[in-house]
């Protein structure tokens, strides 16, 4: 049975690299902590000194509160379950000026975050004028406007758009701080923090993928201000189930997915796309067996076919992900770090946890 090993000590190692007080970190733990398991992840983060968490799910926000009583929790997605967020002391997002005006009576007593929409444009105020109106309406109705935030849509790209995004929110803040004192200002995701360090005006950063051990962009091609060496939180491994000798023109896999162009020795390992490993990660890429890289020739739901030599035996371990085959190295070939993590199938993989 293929295995997924999650190492929570590596989450702590990643966090301890941040050169700022851990209480300045709002840890993004959405989607079951990027599929690394919410409870174990937040307990680990708490031990490092983190006291602020963010998620898109109200159920997850409530789960965090039940586990940790003395932390701040920010619910990113808009909600209409006002009694629940009051009961569990969860901070919520102002998704639009209309949302604020239509629900202001229910928002009384809640801690509110005003979002600047920016290029992401999923929610939030569109411009300075709307932001000023939110502040005035909140003050007139005695609402608790605690935070200003945004999400940079282009922080992991180097096409000039990030600089535009950054300039706009910094200019807006400069005007807004003249009329309102925000207790919390959080603008930067992992990529923005890695590029710029924490903004002078910011009270917090809001990292996601860096907590779990991945570069948010290609650091070999693009500069970083902050020093960061990712420790990948998880390892995925399988075993060699069988070894086959293929003659020239022999096929293997669905629909002759691989046809040998010469006499070839192959191993069949017990892992495939059904275990939540993206085809684009496997097809034509490599795995590690006995410390050496071997090419993956064919991918099936529960198996892969790997070209091997005489040094590989039945029962040998086949590494798909580890620190030597990190998720971020596959972004240019297939999908983002978070996509590769999100699909890992814990129903078919044997999950091992290290603390």
Token pair belonging to 222: 């693009």
User: Which of 254, 333, 353, 354 does the annotation list as catalytic?
Assistant: 254
All residues at 6 or more sequence positions from 28 whose CB lies less than 8 Å from its CB, including other chains = 53, 54, 55, 189, 206, 207, 208, 211
Would residue 30 show up in a list of annotated catalytic residues for this protein?
yes
* HEC assignment per residue over the chain: CCEEEEEHHHHHHHHCCCCCCHHHECEECHHHHHHCCHHHHHHHHHHHCCCEEEECCHHHHHHHHHHCCCCEEEECCCCCCHHHHHHCCCEEEECCHHHHHHHHHHHCCCEEEEEECCCCCCCCECCHHHHHHHHHHHHHCCCEEEEEEECCCCCCCCCCHHHHHHHHHHHHHHHHCCCCCCCEEECCCHHHHHHHCCCCCCCEECCCHHHHCCCCCCCCCCCCCCCCCCCCCEEEEEEEEEEEEECCCCEECHHHCEECCCCEEEEEECCCHHHCCCHHHHCCCEEEECCEEEEEEEECCCCEEEECCCCCCCCCEEEEEECCECHHHHCCCCCCHHHHHHCCCCCCCEEEEEC
Closest CA to 132 of 166, 168, 177, 186: 177
Token pair belonging to 88: 């569990």
User: Which of 8, 10, 30, 328 does the annotation list as catalytic?
Assistant: 30
Q: What positions carry a catalytic annotation?
A: 30, 254
């Amino acid at each position: 049975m293929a295995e997924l090993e999650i190492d929570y000590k590596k989450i702590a190692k990643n966090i301890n690299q941040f050169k700022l007080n851990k209480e300045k970190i709002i840890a993004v733990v959405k989607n079951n902590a990027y599929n690394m398991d919410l409870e174990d992840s937040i307990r680990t983060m708490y031990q490092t000194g983190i006291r602020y968490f963010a998620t898109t799910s109200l159920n997850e926000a409530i789960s965090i509160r039940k586990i940790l009583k003395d932390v701040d929790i920010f619910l990113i997605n808009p909600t209409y379950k006002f009694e629940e967020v009051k009961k569990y002391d969860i901070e919520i997002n102002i998704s639009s000026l209309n949302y604020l005006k239509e629900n202001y009576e229910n928002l009384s007593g809640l801690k509110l975050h005003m979002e600047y929409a920016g290029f992401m444009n999923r929610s939030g105020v569109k411009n300075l004028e709307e932001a000023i109106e939110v502040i005035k309406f909140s003050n007139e109705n005695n609402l608790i406007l605690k935070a200003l935030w945004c999400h940079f849509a282009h922080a992991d790209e180097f096409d000039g758009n990030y600089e535009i995004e950054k300039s706009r929110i910094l200019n807006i803040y400069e005007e807004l701080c003249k009329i309102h004192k925000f207790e919390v200002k959080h603008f930067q995701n992992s990529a923005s923090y890695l590029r710029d360090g924490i903004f002078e005006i910011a009270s917090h950063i809001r990292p996601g993928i860096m907590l779990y051990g991945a570069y948010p962009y290609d650091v070999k091609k693009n500069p970083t201000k902050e020093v960061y060496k990712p420790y990948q939180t998880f390892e995925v491994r399988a075993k060699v189930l069988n070894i086959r000798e293929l003659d020239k023109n022999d096929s293997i896999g669905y629909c002759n997915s691989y046809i040998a162009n010469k006499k070839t020795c192959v191993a069949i390992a017990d892992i495939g796309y059904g275990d939540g490993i993206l085809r684009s990660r496997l097809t034509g890429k490599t795995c590690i067996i006995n410390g050496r890289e071997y090419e993956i020739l064919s991918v099936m739901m529960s198996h892969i076919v790997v070209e091997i030599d005489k040094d590989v035996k039945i029962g040998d371990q086949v590494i798909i992900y580890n620190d030597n085959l990190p998720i971020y190295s596959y972004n240019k070939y297939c999908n983002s770090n978070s996509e590769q993590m999100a699909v890992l199938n814990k129903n078919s993989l044997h999950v091992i946890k290290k603390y």
